[in-house]
Amino acid sequence: MIIGIGARRGINSQEAIDAINNALAEAGRSIDDVHALASAKLKENEAGLHEAAEILGIGITFIDHDELNTYDAPSASQAKRFGLRGVAEPAALALSDKKELILRKKVYGRVTIAIAE
């Protein structure tokens, strides 16, 4: 599974980890099933995302905006103001094998999570 992450500026690692754990619980999945974390290139300077990935022991990939926009985001997104169709859902889909969302975008505080297979 791939976890796509969108986040407000300045989130901390615990916010990201809590959101990931809550999303996994809702999907009935385990952190052991997660192959990678993914987000938009515009989030690559977010220390909280890097720290969360390091704590969880899972790599994080920041995806180019042109690639993200090749995927339809089924949920409405605030990312439109940055010229993106979405962040969490397209990022999860971009790195996934089956290109199927198993958890559509859901907001947990200041972090948005989507999960794809």
* Mean pLDDT, contiguous 10-residue spans, the chain (117 residues): 96 98 97 97 96 98 95 77 86 97 96 98
Length of the chain: 117
Question: Is 7 within 8 Å of 51 (Cβ atoms)?
Answer: no
pLDDT reported for residue 54:
98
pLDDT reported for residue 56:
98
Question: Is 21 within 8 Å of 116 (Cβ atoms)?
Answer: no
pLDDT reported for residue 85:
83
